Amino acid sequence: MEEELRDVLQKSLDLSDTIKEGAEHAKKLLDSETPEHSVPLLEDVSRALQAVQSALGQIDPQVFDAAQIVEEGERVDAALSHVADALQAETYGSAKEVMQFTLLPRLNAWRDMIYDALTTEVSP
């Protein structure tokens, strides 16, 4: 069971790194002359986030309690929704602000929680 948990956490960490890269690239697109090109990328980020959240939510809490990681992921998702709302309203300055000061910091915290769980909570 511990090996299965390690596998879920490792895959979640790998995907969280990809999510982070996608969000950072979306921020660059927001800073460009074509900020609307960030929308499809952020949709991919959202789908990947949901996949990780789903995997973490299926972990048996008696084996490992992932509730704090899932809660932080929900905060990431909420920030992502705020960015999407700002993009839909074409308020790109607001989208950039939420991306820089809310989404990316929360995403980093969420990713770090997964890393910490993998390296400290689950023995090799």
Residue 42's closest CA among 14, 91, 84?
A: 84
pLDDT of residue 124: 56
d(CA 2, CA 69): 18
Question: Using an 8 Å Cβ cutoff, are 5 and 117 in contact?
Answer: no
Alpha helices in the chain (DSSP H): 2-30, 38-57, 67-88, 92-98, 104-116
- The domain segmentation of the chain, as residue ranges, is 2-121
Fold of 2-121: Four Helix Bundle (Hemerythrin (Met), subunit A) (1.20.120)
pLDDT digits (tens, 9 = 90+) for 15-35: 999 999 999 999 999 999 888
pLDDT tens digits, one per residue of 37-59 = 999 999 999 999 999 999 999 99
3-class DSSP assignment, residue 36: helix
Residues in the chain: 124
